[in-house]
Structure 1
Amino acid sequence: MSAPRLSFEFFPPHTLDASFRLWETVHALQSLKPEHVSVTYGAGGTTRALTHEAVTTIGRNYGLRVAAHLTCVDATKAETLEIADAYAEAGVRDIVALRGDAPKGAARFTPHPDGFANSVELVEALAATGKFNIAVGAYPESHPEAAHQQADVEWLKRKVDAGASRAITQFFFEAETFLRFRDACARAGIDVPIVPGILPIISWEGARRFAERCNTHVPPRLEEAFTHAIRDGREDLLALTQCTVLCERLIEEGVDALHFYTLNRPQMTRNVCFALGIVPEVSLQNVA
């Protein structure tokens, strides 16, 4: 079983303590030689400047290939493309193009009157510049706003036809969820890489809340297992086992790349990678 290619997702910091945590996370994971890392965009576009700063700092100080998230939320088309141009000028060539979540307090996403109506329009505009490799989101379980599950496949096909060259999925708890989605995408003629998004469970309660917001199915057996593990003080051990087994099953089924949602907490992601046999690259430059 060959080691998969890795990518890690971070979010931009809002406070000084969060800044230290971000840089500690990048430092802890860079030795695993990820193919790239990405930095998210806050709900409602609230972290545009912070995202830009984090993207450029990681690329400059750590030598990593960095993808910047970009959304359609609360901005005109011109403003959004200005942000993209600023990334291009800073040497960033990878964009994760997303519609984005509704601003805080809003029930649903509403396009800016002069903005992109959806992720397909955003992908088309970015592709027309010829400046970027464009990744998009994919949903192996129905997006909360999807009319039906096949709609997620159809929407991904539209984004690929618009110019996306890669897709990263929302997280899931069972390998079969991803494998069924991958098969459905293949039947629909989607031929770009579809990378499974992996959420190492740092807190089961936090993961459950996240799953509820994202419409991710929580298997009853997993709920029961974590209930017992938390009672017995074995939550971290179960989390490591669950994530490692999930990744191993995906690799056995031909998956050659994994995208980890780190939540700026590196330890569980590192431990899963170690369990998969992925070891840090050690520099011998300064060894006598």
Structure 2
Amino acid sequence: MNEQTKQQIFSFELFPPKTEKGMENLKTNVQQLQELNPAFFSVTYGAGGSTQQRTFDTVDWLVEQRIDTAPHLSCIGADEDEILEILARYKAQGINRLVALRGDLPSGTGLGGLGELNHANQLVSLIRQQFGDYFHIEVAAYPEFHPQAATPQQDLQNFKRKVEAGASSAITQYFYNADAYFRFIDECQRLAIEIPIVPGIMPITNFAQLARFSDSCGTEIPRWLRKRLESYGDDLDSIRNYGIEVVSDLCQRLLAGGAPGLHFYTMNRSAQCQQIWQALGL
């Protein structure tokens, strides 16, 4: 491991399981991923806090295991008192890293149900006002631009507002085009945005699911990759093996190009992340 690798941050994202069996699966996979010595595990938080209790349960277990944890916190649909209560809970647990997000509207909620905070920069500002520098605040970044942004320039300005509000670093939406990330970094540097921006990495395990999810969140699957994955049909082993090769190459290029680390969207599975990790020689 070289000096640059030692300074890079590697982390994993989890989602709160819906069932006891799912929780047991998560625990098994976390224990396997913990052997890789990541900097932290993040835990997602559903639209409007719809998975709030499950998020707490997952975070509580991680803290009990003395695993560094970064809970996601979304502000849309919540009031300030509720958010401050959650932040106080996390501080009492010794948690000092958060992923601060606007979040998605809960299903069936109109604009009148947004709550007091409608944007992630407002959430970041609230955290800084109430807790100073106690929390390391991660925010989201979109190398291929947020699907709801009117223009790329608007999306960059939205990101800059989060940074100016006090974000410590950022984690990107996943992507499969390294050039999109490097161009995004260049644009941020032109706007004097200097916080670390860590690429989000999505292993490829099921092409049909990935295609649906990518279409909804605005991630491009390059045509050469889409066609190759489509050609495997229902052969999941071939999809996974090719996915490990493609994503490992992507990670290698990102790290060689100066990315400050990698954040893996695990989908509560350890195997593909471990194989990519081994391919990278981490």
TM over 0.5: yes
Whether the aligned pair in 2 keeps the contact of 1:101 and 1:109 (CA below 8 Å) is no
Measured against aligned partners, the alpha-carbon deviations of 1:250-282 in whole angstroms (never above 9, x if no partner) come to: 11211130000000011111110011012xxxx
Cross-structure match for 1:274: 278
Structure 2: which amino acid aligns with 1:101? D
Hey, what's the Cα distance between the residues in 2 that align with 1:127 and 1:237?
44
Measured against aligned partners, the alpha-carbon deviations of 1:183-220 in whole angstroms (never above 9, x if no partner) come to: 11111110100000000011111111111111111211
Hey, what's the Cα distance between the residues in 2 that align with 1:234 and 1:201?
11
- Greater CA drift, 222-231 or 196-205: 222-231
Check if 1:9 corresponds to 2:13.
yes
User: Structure 1 pair 15/210, CA: closer, same or farther in 2 (3 Å)?
Assistant: same
Check if 1:252 corresponds to 2:256.
yes
Whether the aligned pair in 1 keeps the contact of 2:196 and 2:260 (CA below 8 Å) is no
Cross-structure match for 1:179: 182
- Greater CA drift, 102-111 or 171-180: 102-111
Structure 2: which amino acid aligns with 1:119? A
SS in 2 for 1:146: coil
Check if 1:210 corresponds to 2:239.
no
Cross-structure match for 2:242: 238
Check if 1:132 corresponds to 2:119.
no
Aligned length: 275
- TM-score normalised over the length of structure 2: 0.93
Whether the aligned pair in 1 keeps the contact of 2:121 and 2:161 (CA below 8 Å) is yes
Cross-structure match for 1:36: 40
Within a 5 Å distance, the mapping from 1:106-121 to structure 2 comes to 106=109, 111-112=114-115, 115-121=116-122
1:47 deviation in Å?
Answer: 1.3
Percentage of pairs with the same residue: 40
User: Structure 1 pair 235/57, CA: closer, same or farther in 2 (3 Å)?
Assistant: same
SS in 2 for 1:230: coil
User: Structure 1 pair 109/250, CA: closer, same or farther in 2 (3 Å)?
Assistant: farther
**Structure 2: segments with no counterpart, 5+ residues:** none
User: Structure 1 pair 191/109, CA: closer, same or farther in 2 (3 Å)?
Assistant: farther
Within a 5 Å distance, the mapping from 1:51-62 to structure 2 comes to 51-61=55-65
Whether the aligned pair in 2 keeps the contact of 1:137 and 1:170 (CA below 8 Å) is yes
Hey, what's the Cα distance between the residues in 2 that align with 1:205 and 1:109?
35
Check if 1:99 corresponds to 2:92.
no
Hey, what's the Cα distance between the residues in 1 that align with 2:110 and 2:185?
30
1:65 deviation in Å?
Answer: 1.1
RMSD value over aligned CA atoms?
A: 1.7
1:150 deviation in Å?
Answer: 1.9
Cross-structure match for 1:225: 228
Structure 1: which amino acid aligns with 2:50? T
User: Structure 1 pair 109/246, CA: closer, same or farther in 2 (3 Å)?
Assistant: farther
SS in 1 for 2:17: coil
Whether the aligned pair in 2 keeps the contact of 1:138 and 1:152 (CA below 8 Å) is no
Hey, what's the Cα distance between the residues in 1 that align with 2:120 and 2:112?
12
- TM-score normalised over the length of structure 1: 0.91
Measured against aligned partners, the alpha-carbon deviations of 1:157-190 in whole angstroms (never above 9, x if no partner) come to: 1111101010000001111111111111111110
Whether the aligned pair in 2 keeps the contact of 1:36 and 1:67 (CA below 8 Å) is yes
Check if 1:88 corresponds to 2:91.
yes
SS in 2 for 1:14: coil
Structure 2: which amino acid aligns with 1:18? G
1:5 deviation in Å?
Answer: 3.0
Whether the aligned pair in 1 keeps the contact of 2:178 and 2:253 (CA below 8 Å) is yes
1:109 deviation in Å?
Answer: 9.2
Hey, what's the Cα distance between the residues in 1 that align with 2:268 and 2:113?
29
